[in-house]
Chains A and B, each alone.
Chain A
């Protein structure tokens, strides 16, 4: 009240009077006077007089005038006129759906906020994937909002057209062609959806002369063909790694991309997880030329180039045949003790699994033979409930391509396939399309094939579509739209129905299909309506497996196989290439997804690039250095990356790069390796000889997130072997006891009264697949920074997968270590922040108050784990970072529960504090305690291997509280006594 004015008093009485007055006012005895009365009182001696009031009014009016004259941003917030029934603002709604693309399959739950999907999670109800997912599944939500690459509506000759025109013209042309008996083709990849396949069948019947060509860019056809030879069954068996004690893989990257990595990771981890109650684990031997994610996890890894690998496979077959009294191939000797391996396989009859990643019928037949001789069929391999993948037919596609080039088709329709990019002779398709009267692409985003088609009839994104899937026999799942189509697109199936003149839409078609075909197969629901509703809600449906006797293995003509393989081995060369689907990019369909582009390859830590990986010895012998750019077989240019662990003489290339029509993020990143693929015996092989190479440049700088790969002898990843573990469960972790004993501190121990959150990471279960990295990015609005910024080592990921080598340089052991904020109880970052922007919560979380952060970066420097990230630029709404956060639509993917960080503040893993809070609120509303496992940070939720366990240390029965007592537990840099809340369980290998 007395601001600025010194109050003068004449006498003690004067002073005392005011005091009394104020006392009586405080007591509330006197009537409160209104502001105007006080102002009207000229004599009042308090600070604000009427004159002051007028002054303040003047200032307020003036500033109101000035400020309102400034431009105010228009915010578009439109309230609901009618509140949708199932929507509560601020509350997430979940829908069960299914992600499918080629062989990739994952039942998912879609988290929507205010009607927009913001996060994908694995559906825990699925018996196959059990809540796990992959990086591509996690990132798929971002593709929905890709307004740069998605088609906004149907196009004719690259110009917008109305659906009516398009439909009228296409129907007319299709009918004419059918009436004239001209050839037409629908090209699609292997489809998992039974109702779509039924629809396509009906479509084919409706238009006589329409061929359906099924073709996969990365094919599993050989497995099918081999099983037809070996068993008379055209199928891909279900691989059950969880039943195996011995896993032998020939180039099959089954944890990364091969067949069904999500379920394999889950199965594999279950055989690798080890405890004092279960002191045994599987043994994994990997023969491969490329250092793959799977190879990195192997107990014994044999780096050999592809032809050598086939020789070993043949020799192993011979050794097995000899031991079991079968006819061998008569293959030559190899530089590997196959007898011992055969003995090992036969010792574990029915408990081993042999897989091969090459798409060669003969190789797969040998694998079938070995598996059969080892008694694995019916145990680790299941023919009775096979996988419905790999239906592609290379031969018929090649015939199609030839006929297309000759202009024999009058109409071609492309669904979900991009042969101009994927086929090794794209000119055949391009030329053919020019000669074809009607060419239609159903592509939902830009692609190379669509750009050559007359009509583009864009399909919906899968989050806008109805669909179903049958990945494994007896295991169905449904996909439902979680959002109304964002653009004027129409689901592929609806287009077919429309062109067939059916009134029905695909939703009803599928519903009918399910109620007619699948309802009888189950007995959980009595009537079709509730069956449909409940299946849709659950997302998955297990109809149970029909038990039937499977035909026995027949070896077929071993001679023919041997001859075919010898022919293949004639391609043996000093230097061979091997191409593989990239862990993040897959076959390149999602190349325009910046999250996937910026996902560091867990092996090489490279982002935004593909490269020719060479072993150090090969690079030396070719006189190449890292960053040199080479042209291979005249097909493309790749920078050289020297990768320890590569087989000598094997040059590895990742597929999925080098898109030219993908969109802003994907265009021109790397080079396309598909044209290198070669045809042999009706199959498309992704390896072969390097016939020619030349150096065309040098000095390429990779955008890597890790550049130092030695642990420098530090106990960062602690490792031991199974034998030692059996003798002493704390083997390899002796330092932990030492540090626990010698840790001295002047400070009292911390106590947490309520929860004390902690995370345990089982290094034995973690495969390094990086799903958690993308899940975290999706959950926490982690910005994409682009290639240049990654080069400057400014990637924003809150968690990273560290990778170290051990052992010799040519045959290194590889270990992965997920690292996120350790939430140290004695956090070095906290005490150095001058403004206390980072501090400890009562629940043991190390928190960031972004609003308070001034960005001194002292915390980043003082973090021994270097998990803190600085917003070097404004990453949202910045033209320089034109990824998803620069467009209105792209920002739709942002999680409203997590702040988008401003330029100049530090950020880091929060243990998904928003999820912790949400779970606490739910528990509180339900008047109960939090259950263990109820809080799942994004990384923990997404992990297909369940390698991460999160929980409350104060809940003594929780899994983390149990695991932290495990003798394998240690903390990263525990000698610093930072008391991290993240614990690691030592890695145990089984080298036997």
Chain B
């Protein structure tokens, strides 16, 4: 699809190694800028709102949410799937671009992975608190006990627990190990004794020797190989929560690939949003260039087509199956009934709007990139809303059809996850180089340019 010249310029501005290190460590040094403090304050407010909602949920019960005895999953699972989708991009960046040798991704990996970690943390909160009795959440783990109780391996929810926890561990590991050399760089450059100790601890005695690098690269490749299937498994298993059920609109074999594409789609959109914000916040335009944005826009464009294909396939299969419940769910409830607004938001935002990226001007304009990336994430939220709620609210027996309205607590918890995410990302950009120095240096053309020049001279 994308033909990338491996010799193209990925880092602009003819920088020396020292320059790179200096520029990329800038954010971790000096006094925190005002916008950062404001951001932390804002994140703190969001987190406080989430904390209040969380307290309401825990102290009173799930009744504080808008769920009903027919729609027993609502904003909780919508937000869960949404965050998990966003949490896809980081690992996908690292792994797939590693595999496909898309070196341009090197300067985005770090932030994408950070985003993954925080998004998966946000996502992981929901399965825990959506339980009626979260204090008994350990029941869901297959631990040996004298009561001879065991988990139900048939349940996709159990698969989900395994998939998410594995994915979280793996993405945290990858992210952390990926930054060990950079932590060592900070350790070496910092003058503050406390900081040096802390960074020293986390840099695991990195000495930068060739021997270390050799082992490090091997480790990353191995881990990458292990993580690759996880990227696919985590969201497909999330989709199995729905696909394994009998509910019309859920019971579909298309869901695993559809969810996977959706996750990549929303994850990339979120990466785009964050990258744009970061290039605005830090002087890293030379590292994250228009080329990067252009590439991401291409990916979004094509995955949007896939999403559109999935929507069309669902509708077609619903009609082709001849099952009255499926036909009702897709053509009545979703396309023309109680959920039609959400359905058409989903179609337009996800399958149609990103097609503007066929135009170069749209790919070049930071504003359009930013807007479309936001629109995609809104659209993807609505996609989960449509899938989750419309199928439950209007399923088999019309007698139990209900509407669904979120409460302030539902909204508050979602807001709270933004708090977690915002604070996580802000602390990340403050204490860790947002761009992996050790990954940027190999793809910068230092030396190579010179080599080319030298050979021309000869």
Chain B nearest CB from A700 CB (Å) reads 17
Q: A864 touching B324 by the CB < 8 A rule?
A: no
Q: B399 touching A819 by the CB < 8 A rule?
A: yes
Q: B133 touching A853 by the CB < 8 A rule?
A: yes
In the complex formed, the residue of A with least CB distance to B150 is: A836
Q: B133 touching A793 by the CB < 8 A rule?
A: no
A577 contacts chain B at the CB level, 8 A cutoff: no
How many angstroms from the CA of A455 to the CA of B324 in the assembled complex?
A: 66
A284 contacts chain B at the CB level, 8 A cutoff: no
B44 contacts chain A at the CB level, 8 A cutoff: no
Could you mark each residue 135-166 of chain B with 1 if its beta carbon is under 8 Å from any beta carbon of chain A, else 0?
A: 01101100000000111101111100100000
Inter-chain contacts of B61 with A (CB < 8 A): 871-874, 903-904
Q: A861 touching B157 by the CB < 8 A rule?
A: no
Greatest chain B CB density within 10 A among A707, A857, A861 is at: A861
Q: A706 touching B399 by the CB < 8 A rule?
A: yes
How many angstroms from the CA of A708 to the CA of B156 in the assembled complex?
A: 31
- Chain A interface, >50% SS class: loop
B68 contacts chain A at the CB level, 8 A cutoff: yes
In the complex formed, the residue of A with least CB distance to B127 is: A856
A795 contacts chain B at the CB level, 8 A cutoff: yes
In the complex formed, the residue of B with least CB distance to A977 is: B246
Which of A269-277, A650-658, A710-718, A806-814 contacts its partner?
A710-718
What number of A-B contacts does a CB cutoff of 8 Å give? Answer: 165
B62 contacts chain A at the CB level, 8 A cutoff: yes
Could you mark each residue 891-911 of chain A with 1 if its beta carbon is under 8 Å from any beta carbon of chain B, else 0?
A: 000000000001111100000
Which of A76-84, A194-202, A797-805 contacts its partner?
A797-805
B319 contacts chain A at the CB level, 8 A cutoff: no
Inter-chain contacts of B127 with A (CB < 8 A): 856
How many angstroms from the CA of A710 to the CA of B397 in the assembled complex?
A: 10
Inter-chain contacts of B396 with A (CB < 8 A): 714, 864-866, 973, 976
How many angstroms from the CA of A904 to the CA of B139 in the assembled complex?
A: 14
B130 contacts chain A at the CB level, 8 A cutoff: yes
Greatest chain A CB density within 10 A among B67, B246, B397 is at: B397
A869 contacts chain B at the CB level, 8 A cutoff: yes
Q: B132 touching A710 by the CB < 8 A rule?
A: no
Chain B contact residues (Cβ within 8 angstroms of A): what range? 35 or more
Q: Among residues 272 to 290 in chain A, which have CB atoms less than 8 Å away from a CB atom of chain B?
A: none
How many angstroms from the CA of A972 to the CA of B161 in the assembled complex?
A: 33
B317 contacts chain A at the CB level, 8 A cutoff: no
Q: A861 touching B72 by the CB < 8 A rule?
A: yes
A792 contacts chain B at the CB level, 8 A cutoff: yes
Q: Among residues 859 to 877 in chain A, which have CB atoms less than 8 Å away from a CB atom of chain B?
A: 860-862, 864-866, 868-874
Inter-chain contacts of A862 with B (CB < 8 A): 245-247
Q: B245 touching A904 by the CB < 8 A rule?
A: no
Q: B241 touching A871 by the CB < 8 A rule?
A: no
How many angstroms from the CA of A831 to the CA of B403 in the assembled complex?
A: 27
How many angstroms from the CA of A853 to the CA of B66 in the assembled complex?
A: 21
How many angstroms from the CA of A868 to the CA of B246 in the assembled complex?
A: 15
A852 contacts chain B at the CB level, 8 A cutoff: yes
Inter-chain contacts of B137 with A (CB < 8 A): 854
With beta carbons under 8 angstroms apart, the residue of B62, B134, B245, B324 that contacts A870 is: B62
Chain B nearest CB from A466 CB (Å) reads 43
Q: A857 touching B245 by the CB < 8 A rule?
A: no
How many angstroms from the CA of A861 to the CA of B241 in the assembled complex?
A: 11
Chain A nearest CB from B160 CB (Å) reads 8
Q: Among residues 832 to 888 in chain A, which have CB atoms less than 8 Å away from a CB atom of chain B?
A: 832-836, 852-858, 860-862, 864-866, 868-874
Could you mark each residue 393-437 of chain B with 1 if its beta carbon is under 8 Å from any beta carbon of chain A, else 0?
A: 011111111110000000000000000000000000000000000
Q: A854 touching B139 by the CB < 8 A rule?
A: yes
Inter-chain contacts of A871 with B (CB < 8 A): 61, 132
How many angstroms from the CA of A209 to the CA of B324 in the assembled complex?
A: 75
Inter-chain contacts of B151 with A (CB < 8 A): 834-836
In the complex formed, the residue of A with least CB distance to B133 is: A904
B69 contacts chain A at the CB level, 8 A cutoff: yes
Inter-chain contacts of B152 with A (CB < 8 A): 831, 833-836
Q: A905 touching B133 by the CB < 8 A rule?
A: yes
Chain B nearest CB from A371 CB (Å) reads 39
Inter-chain contacts of A853 with B (CB < 8 A): 132-133
Q: A860 touching B69 by the CB < 8 A rule?
A: yes
B63 contacts chain A at the CB level, 8 A cutoff: yes
Q: With A789-B63, A862-B247, A864-B396 as given contacts, are A834 and B150 in contact (CB-CB < 8 Å)?
A: no
With beta carbons under 8 angstroms apart, the residue of A711, A804, A832 that contacts B245 is: A832
How many angstroms from the CA of A195 to the CA of B316 in the assembled complex?
A: 76
Q: Among residues 64 to 82 in chain B, which have CB atoms less than 8 Å away from a CB atom of chain A?
A: 66-70, 72-73
Inter-chain contacts of A833 with B (CB < 8 A): 152, 155, 157
Inter-chain contacts of B86 with A (CB < 8 A): none
In the complex formed, the residue of B with least CB distance to A976 is: B246
In the complex formed, the residue of A with least CB distance to B155 is: A834
B31 contacts chain A at the CB level, 8 A cutoff: no
How many angstroms from the CA of A792 to the CA of B74 in the assembled complex?
A: 14
How many angstroms from the CA of A854 to the CA of B328 in the assembled complex?
A: 32
B453 contacts chain A at the CB level, 8 A cutoff: no
With beta carbons under 8 angstroms apart, the residue of A712, A793, A858 that contacts B69 is: A793
Inter-chain contacts of A904 with B (CB < 8 A): 61-62, 131-133
A668 contacts chain B at the CB level, 8 A cutoff: no
Q: Among residues 220 to 267 in chain B, which have CB atoms less than 8 Å away from a CB atom of chain A?
A: 241, 244-247
Chain A nearest CB from B336 CB (Å) reads 14
19 new A-B contacts at CB < 8 Å, known A828-B246, A872-B62, A906-B132: A706-B400, A708-B399, A710-B398, A711-B398, A714-B325, A714-B398, A793-B69, A794-B69, A854-B140, A858-B245, A861-B245, A861-B247, A864-B396, A866-B70, A866-B400, A873-B61, A874-B61, A903-B61, A905-B132
Q: List 25 A-B contacts (CB under 8 A).
A: A711-B398, A714-B324, A789-B63, A792-B68, A793-B69, A794-B68, A800-B399, A803-B399, A804-B398, A804-B399, A831-B155, A832-B156, A832-B244, A835-B139, A854-B136, A855-B131, A861-B72, A862-B246, A870-B62, A873-B60, A903-B61, A904-B62, A904-B131, A904-B132, A905-B133
**Nearest 10 Cβ contacts at the A-B interface:** A855-B132, A904-B132, A872-B63, A866-B400, A802-B399, A857-B72, A793-B68, A860-B72, A904-B133, A834-B157
